[in-house]
Amino acid sequence: MLLCQDIRRQVKRVSGSFSWEQKQAWSWAIAGRFFESFTRLQGIRLGLYRSLSDEVQTDFLAQILKSHGSYLYYPRIVPEGLEFFPEQGIWEKNEYGIDEPMATQPILPEFLDLLIVPCVALGVHGERLGRGKGYYDRFLPKVSCFCLSLGFDFQIFPALPQSPKDQRIDWILTPTREYPARIVIETKIF
């Protein structure tokens, strides 16, 4: 099995071979799959992220979610790890170049109804490889909501190396497929 740093390099290399326009088109396709899968969106509290250039783009997804009456919360790195804050249109880049909300009152993790988790790579059984700092691996045990990741098809692997601290996600959406990574008996979304 490949090592995590080898997988990150491989995904970065493959990602670089596709144009921005192609990744935008795939991001739109993923957004379409999202809205086919999740129909009851009014009033839900949804954790999202501001995309980096090599990730599935979430800006238009956010616009549509807001138009459906969803409440959006974005992560900010704090000394304890991650906290999610309401989107208020004021952003500041953190040390990693990621936009963070400037709101002052975080939502308690248990109040999130749905969490969309960024990824570098995904395994078909819900394994997730991030950028290597472990922020989401420390945050995910605090939530009880449905967690999914959005990924390009080239980010999907049959399996990924996992440590005891790594957290899995429930569902994966790509431009062409869905991967129900865990059996979900009931969620607030379906």
Global confidence as pTM: 0.91
DSSP code of residue 66: H
Hey, CA dihedral for 138, 142, 147, 150, is it positive or negative? negative
Domain count, the chain: 1
Q: How far, in Å, CA of 12 to CA of 155, rounded?
A: 9
Domain assignment of residue 13, yes or no: no
| Full residue range of the structural domain in which residue 117 is found | 20-180
Domain assignment of residue 9, yes or no: no
Domain assignment of residue 3, yes or no: no
Each residue's pLDDT, cut to its tens digit, for the chain (190 residues) gives: 678 889 999 999 999 999 999 999 999 999 999 999 888 889 999 999 999 888 999 998 999 999 999 999 999 999 989 999 999 888 999 998 899 999 889 999 999 999 999 999 999 999 999 988 999 999 999 999 999 999 999 999 999 998 889 999 999 999 999 988 765 544 444 4
**Dihedrals φ, ψ of 76, to 5°?**
-135, 135
Domain assignment of residue 105, yes or no: yes
Domain assignment of residue 147, yes or no: yes
Domain assignment of residue 35, yes or no: yes
What pLDDT, on a 0 to 100 scale, did the predictor assign at position 152? 97
Domain CATH for 110: 3.40.50.10420
Domain assignment of residue 5, yes or no: no
Name the residue among 135, 128, 133, 136 with its Cα closest to residue 155. 128
